[in-house]
Amino acid sequence: MTIERRMKSVKFEITNGSLEKLARGAGDAALDAAAVLREGAAAAARHAEEISSRVRLEQEIRDLRQEIRLQMQAAGEIVYAAHRGGPSDSDRIQTILEYVDGLYEELEAHQRESETLRGHLICPACGAANHSDCLYCQNCGKPLSRQ
Ligand SMILES: [Zn+2]
């Protein structure tokens, strides 16, 4: 092998080696980018899920409030009629009020969940909003539940 030829082959090996290193580097960078993208997508999905469950909760809270209003109006109309000499339908009022009690309980549960999603915990005893890292209510001292 002439010196010139040997030099060429050494040069080629170096070039080849650097290319390989370059390719490996590019591959690593691509893997890193893919990992970042995957992480970003997962975080975005989590965020979207959180937002959609918050939107759904808020819609349900609005629906519950609307239903409570309608039921209270129905009860009020019966009371009004009774005071105006109409039939006193106390059984029906009782049924409506029990239903409304259930709606209020559901509403409170939804509001607690909504506050928790926003990073707050609603005290089950006094209704105060506490930061999510509190173990006890800052207002009344009762333990805060995380469910
Ligand atoms: Zn409290």
Q: How confident is the model at residue 18 (pLDDT cuts 50, 70, 90)?
A: low
Checking phi first, is residue 41 left (phi over 0); if not, alpha (psi -120 to 50) or beta? alpha
Burial 91-102 (b: 16+ CB within 10 A, else e): eebeebeeebee
CA of 111 to the centre of ligand 1 (A): 15
- The SS3 of residue 62 is helix
- pTM for the full predicted model: 0.53
For tokens 């290193």, name the residue: 21
Q: Cα separation of 143 and 125, whole Å? A: 9
Q: What is the pLDDT of residues 86-100, one digit of tens each?
A: 777 888 899 999 999
* pLDDT computed for residue 66 by the predictor: 96
Q: What is the pLDDT of residues 33-92, one digit of tens each?
A: 888 778 777 777 777 776 677 788 889 999 999 999 999 999 999 889 888 887 778 888
* pLDDT computed for residue 30 by the predictor: 79
CA of 135 to the centre of ligand 1 (A): 11
Q: Half-sphere exposure of 18 toward its Cβ, with a 13 Å CA cutoff?
A: 5
List CB-based neighbours of ion ligand 1 within 5 Å: 123, 125-126, 128, 137, 139-140
